[in-house]
A and B are shown apart, each in its own frame.
Chain A
Amino acid sequence: MRRRRPGVFAWLPPMVPTFLLLGLFFIGPILWAAYTAFTNAALSGPAARDPEFVGWENFRRALHDPNLANAVWLTVLFTFGSAVIGQNCLGMLLAVLMQRRNQVIRAIVGMLVVAAWVLPEIVAAFALYAFLSGDGTLNAVLTTLGMEGQNWLFTAPMLAIILGNVWRGTAFSMLIYQAALSDVDVELLEAAQVDGAGPLRRFWHVVLPIVRRTVMTNLMLITLQTIGVFTLIYVLTSGGPGTASQTLPLLMYDRAFEFGEIAYGTAIAFVLLGVGALFSAIYARALRAEV
């Protein structure tokens, strides 16, 4: 019997849709966006019909735009607070707590955390909104306790969206870390314990070095995920009050689709991409530094 080998072009037919997808929905739009960011394109008006090339004008404007500086800062704060600190640390804590524990409890806790993640972001946003808004439940409870309520979404909008994002996103880090921790050799931990290392030292000196790669990869994934978060913030605070929680995706949506300044909105999207690249570069460096 003759052994059949795949034809030389067997790979081509299954890849055609993917190439179309890459061309139409990735490379094409990026090139288009890169060009548009240097024009004065708009959604309507004369600039919509016949956009002009304006060079670095949009980026020059961005540099002096207080709203953009504000949005960059809020995006970094949001990402650091909800992803790097919140999701990452809480996910690790949950994974460590549940490591080699009672199967039933493990299953229950895992289910509770992951359930929050499969729900629409809008549900998280609504729950927090109903709870924290001026005439929301928290204030009603505070009033019955004889305390003065306040509009939490006005006084602490960043805290609200960070909490919301931690609630929704922790599951991913937890699952990733659970998988990584199951690879850590039990004998190593036992040896460390016999040598008198407490739980914290065991985690810091034995577990963490082993799962370091996973931590960095996870950080990169959740960071890229978080800098693009739109729904949660849009529904919860719409970026407000004023611009107090207007992160880059919201600013970009506002400029491009509400004000129709397509070119400037696109320039903002590239700033967003830059922030993501910066975070990634930091993680990549941190990973290399200690090897």
Chain B
Amino acid sequence: MTAVLPRRRPAAAYRRARGSTGFLEWVAIHSIALALGLMFLLPLVFVCLTAVMSDRQALTAELWPRQWQWANFVTVFEKAPLLTYLGNSLLYSGVATAGMLVSSVPAAYALARLRWRGRNLAFLAVVAAMMLPPQVVAVPLYLLWARLDLTGTVWPLVIPYLLGDFFSIFLLRQFFLTIPRDYVDAARADGCSEAGVLLRVIVPMARPGIAAAALFSFLYTWNDYFGPLLYTAERPESWTLSVALASFRGMHRVEWNLTMAATVLVMLPALVLFLVAQKTFVKGITFTGVKG
């Protein structure tokens, strides 16, 4: 008997149910989403507008610049040796990211596509290290670098990356796992060495994953403040941009327009990098294995 009944078509019914209220609902939901999104933009707009105000107008009730003082972006370079700080930041982020790639890509391959005893244990250790709040090891590491007489430089921040970075190893391993084993086996069958498999098969195929890992580590190091504060604060020549920026506020009279101009300059590279590589970035996040 049931066979006689017409099959229910949920999809069609769903569409019908939307019917008349559909349009209003569409407008309402999109407006709410857009409004929420714009709220995230407000602090940024505030920073950018203040950056081009006169010192007198900054932090007043007048939120829109009376005259656009673009010269602020030039003045900050005269007020502080920003180029030195920029150099330090680039040294930290650039060398750390490059070093991370050289050391973490092979490790991630060994964790993803080679079989060996202790592999799971090693991976577990990497994940545990990745989750550890940095404060727990801050003191012993500081003493270690102090003993090596490297505090006051960016090297305590860079050197660990030459050995790898836990989060990057994790991310790369997750990515490498998505490359079908068959490709690896085929390359091996053709007599490719393991280094060859890695360089000629895995790396080209995992380019988006590697780009994401590089992007994350560049942004993380570029934005890092705790590390540079701990190690470089004692010597102003070694300051990164983030430490220099924070010191702006400690000065006897804060010129907020200039401080914000410097802030814009510091966040610009991060923002541009993000806009250029947005897809890679989002893909990398959803790839951190949170699914399932």
Contact = CB atoms under 8 A, between A and B. Distances in A.
A175 B286 contact: yes
B74 interface: no
Interface of B is mostly: helix
Interface string B32-75: 11101110110110110010000000111101000000000000
A19 B163 CA distance: 9
Contact of A120 (B33, B139, B223): B223
Given A17-B163, A116-B40, A190-B11, A26 B60 contact: no
A270 B140 CA distance: 13
Contact of A101 (B33, B164, B260): B33
Interface stretch (A52-60, A127-135, A281-289): A127-135
B274 A115 contact: yes
Interface stretch (A62-70, A80-88, A154-162, A211-219): A211-219
B169 A18 contact: yes
B136 A272 contact: yes
A276 B274 CA distance: 30
Interface string B191-210: 11110001000000000000
Contacts of A262: 139, 143
Contacts of B162: 17
Given A25-B129, A127-B43, 7 more contacts: A1-B190, A15-B107, A28-B140, A114-B281, A119-B44, A140-B60, A193-B13
Interface of B: 8, 10-11, 13-14, 17, 29-30, 32-34, 36-38, 40-41, 43-44, 46-47, 50, 58-61, 63, 103-104, 106-107, 109-111, 114-116, 119, 122, 125-126, 128-129, 131-144, 160, 162-164, 166, 169, 188-194, 198, 219, 222-223, 225-226, 229-230, 242, 245-246, 249, 256, 259-260, 263, 266-267, 270-271, 273-275, 278, 281-282, 285-286, 288, 290-292
Nearest first, the 6 closest Cβ-Cβ pairs linking A and B are: A14-B106, A109-B37, A29-B137, A127-B43, A190-B14, A228-B133
